[in-house]
Chain A
Amino acid sequence: MTPFTFRRASDASAAIGLVGATASAKYLGGGTNLVDLMREGVERPAALVDVTDLSQAIEARADGSILIGAAAKNTALAADRTVRTRFPMLARAILAGASGQIRNMATVGGNILQRTRCTYFYDDAARCNKRQPGAGCDAIQGFNRIHAILGASPACIATHPSDMCVALAALDAIVHLEGPQGGRTLKLVDLHRLPGEYPDVETELTPGELITAVEIPPLPFAARSTYRKVRDRASYAFALISVAAAIDIEDGIVRDVRLALGGVAHKPWRAWAAEAALRGQPATEASFRAAAEAELTDATGLRDNAFKIELAKRTIVAVLGERAGEEA
């Protein structure tokens, strides 16, 4: 690990000032990903600014929305009564990720900004365009079981590993940012980028910008939402495929739906095509299958991950079927 300075920030403006004062400074949340990457030599910040003293508040608002401080721990968010009743897919997604220990350390802001678990990104001896732009990608010809089937590029097939973000994408979450140029908001679905030619540029954040809060707008039918994760072992593994779903059915017709996928792309994948295909259709397995087909039309598989295309479709159909059964 390369040496670094360490400062604890008391509020967002102090944190932004401290990070702006040192080149290659980084914000530090729970450290469960950044400390590991520093140990591997993938990350080499000259300065760490600890932002875990920033707001951890989880505010249930009267209009049905929730405002979550970015320093809230993953455990606290999953255990929050309002989250569990208004947005159960979010609680289930968080609880499907990592281990009890890691959820106690990890913050909401850090979960959003965690890096891919592509093994070639971690391996200093492998070529990786994300770690070293222009170096090439050893995953494309390598062991790529966990890699992307949607939105990948010839430069990078890494996936975003977060479960929480899949639920946030489905719930139209809004990320609150503060930076040297002031504050702004960004939809979670617009925060992460597809790899394109520049897989090293993973988000739309500008230098020094800090996530201060995440807002989830009201969505009454999300009270019956869920999250299903398919993985290589029953617990403590990253997703092969995951699905966050909420569906609103009236008289057998899909009035509205929210659907997002994890484990498929460089960003949490909002299933816009499937949602459009479902609205106004009968809530039947045939409709669910057609919607899944529409979403995966452009999916491409490599040597080890082609099975995930059919797995994604089947998981979508299964989860929507389960939700429809509950609604009926």
Chain B
Amino acid sequence: MNFTVNGKPIEAAFDLRTSLLDLLRDHLGLTGSKKGCNQGACGACTVLVDGARINSCLALAVQYEGRAITTVEGLASGGVLHPLQQAFIDHDGLQCGYCTPGQLCAAIGMADEIARGVPSVVTADLSAETIDLDHDEVRERMSGNLCRCGAHNGIVDAIAEAFGEVPA
């Protein structure tokens, strides 16, 4: 089966029961995406598929044949960190780092959703054309990613710097 992973075409053969997460980690050696809960509760496995964030642990790899997958390994380019990665470092958006790859991919997917005008449950006016990326919006939209070290405040600050102003 064929996939595009971080811009490169790859071909892989695997048992149909293999999750997209296990394909990435165990077959392709891309161990950046993490297996936290393996049931969609923690978000550590978050990757982008054609730009949309998903939980790769709940995804059967076979369902994503032919799709373009981006993992944390694909965020930096030419040895330069993605601006969000640098912002995580600058704002202490991590301690142990286990949730970080999922947080990064989730936040990049979230920024794309905001740009496309996708509302959230805390968006007051559903008819508004644009959505302000305020503190409440970031916290609600990132609720699918847990950080057991409690670096959430730094994570929100990092996302604010990378993707726009976040008034307190």
Contacts and interface: CB of A to CB of B under 8 A. Distances in A.
B143 interface: yes
B139 A84 contact: no
B6 interface: no
A35 B118 contact: no
Given A79-B118, A100-B106, A31 B58 contact: yes
Given A1-B17, A100-B110, A75 B63 contact: no
B35 interface: no
Contacts of B43: 99, 101
Interface in B43-67: 43, 46, 52-55, 58-60, 62-63
B126 A31 contact: no
Interface of A: 1, 3-6, 28, 31-32, 35-36, 39, 48, 50, 52, 75, 78-79, 84-85, 88, 91-92, 95-96, 98-102, 104-105, 229, 234-236
Given A78-B118, A104-B54, A99 B62 contact: no
Contact of A88 (B38, B106, B120, B126): B126
Given A35-B58, A101-B53, 16 more contacts: A3-B17, A4-B16, A28-B60, A36-B39, A48-B60, A75-B118, A79-B118, A84-B126, A85-B127, A91-B119, A99-B40, A99-B55, A101-B46, A101-B54, A234-B140, A236-B143
B147 to A, nearest CB: 13
Contacts of A79: 116-119
Contact of A101 (B39, B106, B123, B139): B106
Interface string B3-39: 0000000000001110100000000000000000011
25 contacts: A3-B15, A3-B16, A6-B62, A31-B59, A32-B40, A35-B19, A48-B60, A50-B63, A75-B113, A78-B119, A85-B126, A92-B126, A95-B123, A96-B121, A98-B144, A99-B43, A99-B145, A100-B120, A100-B144, A101-B43, A101-B53, A101-B54, A102-B55, A104-B54, A236-B143
- Please classify the interface of chain B as helix (H, G, I), strand (E, B), loop, or mixed, using the class held by over half of its residues: loop
A97 B158 CA distance: 26
Contacts of A105: 54-55, 58-59
The 7 closest A-B pairs by CB, nearest first: A99-B144, A235-B143, A95-B121, A236-B143, A84-B126, A79-B118, A1-B17
Interface in B107-132: 109-110, 113, 116-121, 123, 126-127
B34 to A, nearest CB: 14
Nearest to A52: B63
Nearest to A35: B58
A130 to B, nearest CB: 19
A28 B63 contact: yes
A32 B145 CA distance: 16
A102 B143 contact: no
B100 to A, nearest CB: 16
A236 B144 CA distance: 7
B52 A104 contact: yes
Contacts of B113: 75, 100
B142 to A, nearest CB: 8
A84 B128 CA distance: 10
A96 B123 CA distance: 11
A36 B45 CA distance: 14
A247 to B, nearest CB: 18
Contacts of A32: 40, 55, 58
Contacts of A3: 15-17
Contacts of B40: 32, 36, 99, 101-102
Contacts of B143: 99, 234-236
Contacts of B53: 100-101, 104
